[in-house]
Amino acid sequence: MDMKKVTAFKFLAIALIAIFVSSCKQSSSSKNTSRATGWAINDKNGGFQYNSDFKEQETAPGLVFVEGGTYTKGRVQDDVMHDWNNSPSQQHVQSFYMDETEVTNAMYMEYLDWIKRVYPPSEENYKAIYEGALPDTLVWRNRLGYNEVMTENYLRHPGYGEYPVVGVSWIQAVEFANWRTDRVNEHNLEKAGFLKRDAKITAVGADENFNTDTYINAPTLTYGGNEEIINGENKNKRYVRTDEEGNESNIYATRETGLISPKYRLPTETEWEYAALGLSELRDYNLYRGRKKYPWDGQYTRSGKRKIRGDQMANFKQGKGDYGGIAGWSDDGADITNAVKSYEPNDFGLYDMAGNVAEWVADVYRPIVDDEFNDFNYYRGNVYTKNALNEDGTVKVITSDDIVYDTLSNGKVVARNLPGEILQVPVDENETYLRTNFDRSNEINFRDGDRRSSRHFENFGGEEEENEDAETSKMYNSPKHTVTRDENGKIIREFDTKNNRTSLINDEVRVYKGGSWKDREYWLDPAQRRFFPQDMATDYIGFRCAMSRVGSKSKTKQKTKN
């Protein structure tokens, strides 16, 4: 190659590099310039601050991504129980995240340890908090069986550490999810420099702890207003701005930073069933090749794969008196529950979506799924609330003197609002007036069980006329037990002995899904649905958490398929 060609090649290379650098600068400049006003975004002098570098939601601890889509929810085999409660309907689910495994004893023990350190049960004011979070280990007892080894050891012994937690009510599962949200966000903000390092361990107390909603709405009240913790490492914060007079702004993380994770929660029934089916292994382009009976492919509970051929895909009750098979040649390797990840995952990478334990989901139980009104992110159980405000307009944060407790139907006491959290109250007319999408705080009975769905309801001339007998109880006439306390604090339990009760369904029963170690094969079908009181627990119901996906539906850019 002669010198002229070499020189020309060098000039071309320099030109390409210059164009590349220029385009990078233009790209960087454009994403930090408002398309609405032309003003600078993230200017060092202040103004509008926004995470323009955000790529996508980071997968939170313990979760796996489940890409949403359309599927047929409901029965795929004969309804031998004749419940008529899972008729097929087409539903669409947004993308979300779900726990890879069921919540284990070790995970729940970490929760109990935190509560015990922050709210010492030795102090009378906090005793009920710890006791209300404890799983009911007596669920293992049987009148004609010896199960004391599980009663005494299942929750706490390391031998059962990776086994799914049981004896947890729906209410306790929800409180665990709330706690988990706060601990993950607390850790994220500590890593980003917004909170003093290790304060979550060394400085936490009953009136000095972190709550996500409190931090978003009133960050100066987090950790009881301890500025050393919430302002301790401002120099590490990329969003902090200082004006000419030395005044700092943007010293607290907001949702705009992308650092605050959406909440952990129980999955909805529709999400759980969609995730359990893992239909992607039956997909050919834009078409499912059929329907699935189990979380795995095929019509049988044993694997057809060469490596594990003949092995059971889950642990469940094989038959009368057969929970695990013959000793030394076990059918499924377990008699009660088994350690998580003992069986093959489904196509989403989720373990034990059949067998091990059945799982709580978020929904209030009803025999019908009203897909005529909504077929997008279907869920029954919405109770809308808002932050309570003080007279001066600031949010009302719970203190140790006004902890909110609920007395359950069995007499147990559970803390619903802990110190550091914002008190929640029902939404009112300010939020519901002239809206078409919701008109009240509690929408649990919408189109099923409320007065409007009763045959007694009459509406003439646009005015609502309600028959005084048209109560929810007319449709779901369940027993109404009462629990009260006398002046000495002694619990008085009164059982409903009326013999005209016709149902066990009410607004306090929740759906649970999936077969358990105690169930026969029929219940392994993800479409099957059952219900149980939300404040009671068993030895065969556990749970896993979910989290909503924000942003794009898919993690990978879809290519056009011809």
pLDDT tens readout for residues 351-405: 999 999 999 999 999 998 888 889 999 999 999 999 999 999 999 999 998 888 8
Q: Would you say residue 547 lies in a domain?
A: yes
Residue of 227, 226, 222, 220 whose CA lies nearest to 210: 222
Q: What is the pLDDT of residue 77?
A: 73
> Average pLDDT, stretch 67-81?
84
Chain mean pLDDT for the chain: 86
Token output for 428? 């009112």
Q: Would you say residue 313 lies in a domain?
A: yes
User: What are residue 216's phi and psi, to 5 degrees?
Assistant: -70, -45
**By the 8 A CB rule, do 358 and 513 touch?**
yes
Residue of 361, 364, 344 whose CA lies nearest to 352: 344
Three-class SS of residue 331? coil
d(CA 553, CA 306): 35
Query: Same domain for 184 and 299?
Result: yes
Three-state secondary structure string covering 59-87: CCCCEEEECCEEEEECCCCCCCCCCCCCC
Query: Same domain for 175 and 102?
Result: yes
Query: Same domain for 462 and 533?
Result: no
Query: Same domain for 350 and 495?
Result: no
pLDDT band at 11 (very low <50, low <70, confident <90, very high): low
Q: Would you say residue 140 lies in a domain?
A: yes
> Average pLDDT, stretch 477-488?
83
Token output for 267? 């999955």
Which of residues 420 and 30 earns the better pLDDT score?
A: 420
Token output for 399? 């203190």
Query: Same domain for 460 and 533?
Result: no
> Average pLDDT, stretch 52-57?
88
pLDDT band at 536 (very low <50, low <70, confident <90, very high): very high
> DSSP label at 357?
-
Query: Same domain for 359 and 460?
Result: no
Q: Would you say residue 368 lies in a domain?
A: yes
* Residue bearing tokens 């002098």: 45
Q: What is the pLDDT of residue 469?
A: 47
* Residue bearing tokens 């007998």: 469
- The Cβ-side half-sphere exposure at 163, using a 13 Å CA radius, reads 25
Token output for 288? 């499912």
The mean-pLDDT minimum among 146-160, 280-294, 492-506 falls in: 280-294
Looking at residue 368, its amino acid is: I
Q: Would you say residue 542 lies in a domain?
A: yes
Looking at residue 288, its amino acid is: Y
Query: Same domain for 357 and 324?
Result: yes
Q: Exposed, middle or buried by CB within 10 Å (0-12, 13-18, 19+), for 149?
A: exposed
The mean-pLDDT minimum among 320-334, 502-516, 529-543 falls in: 320-334
Q: What is the pLDDT of residue 466?
A: 45
Would the pLDDT of 543 be above 90? yes
Q: What is the pLDDT of residue 416?
A: 86
Q: What is the pLDDT of residue 558?
A: 60
CATH number at residue 161: 3.90.1580.10
Q: What is the pLDDT of residue 485?
A: 80
**Number of domain units in the chain:** 2
Query: Same domain for 329 and 286?
Result: yes
Report the DSSP beta bridge partners of residue 414.
406
Q: What length is written for the chain?
A: 562
pLDDT band at 462 (very low <50, low <70, confident <90, very high): very low
pLDDT band at 468 (very low <50, low <70, confident <90, very high): very low
Q: How far is CA 382 from the centre of its chain?
A: 14
> DSSP label at 261?
P
> Average pLDDT, stretch 95-124?
96
> Average pLDDT, stretch 265-275?
97
Query: Same domain for 499 and 523?
Result: no
Q: What is the pLDDT of residue 223?
A: 93
pLDDT in tens, 169-213: 999 999 999 999 999 999 999 998 899 999 999 989 999 999 999
Give Cβ neighbours of residue 443 (< 8 Å, ≥ 6 apart). Answer: 382, 383, 384
Give Cβ neighbours of residue 469 (< 8 Å, ≥ 6 apart). Answer: 456
Query: Same domain for 449 and 530?
Result: no
Q: Would you say residue 398 lies in a domain?
A: no
Token output for 457? 């309801």
CA dihedral for 221, 222, 228, 231, sign (positive or negative): negative
Token output for 111? 């929760």
Q: What is the pLDDT of residue 7?
A: 65
Query: Same domain for 552 and 463?
Result: no
Which of residues 529 and 237 earns the better pLDDT score?
A: 529
Domain boundary among 506, 531, 546: 506
* Alpha carbon distances (Å) from 71 to 95, 134, 190, 358: 13, 38, 40, 22
Query: Same domain for 353 and 466?
Result: no
Angle made by CA atoms 482, 507, 85, in degrees to the nearest 5: 130
- The Cβ-side half-sphere exposure at 335, using a 13 Å CA radius, reads 10
The pTM (predicted TM-score) of the whole model is 0.90
Q: Would you say residue 470 lies in a domain?
A: yes
Domain that holds residue 469: 445-506
pLDDT band at 5 (very low <50, low <70, confident <90, very high): low
Would the pLDDT of 541 be above 50? yes
Q: Would you say residue 200 lies in a domain?
A: no
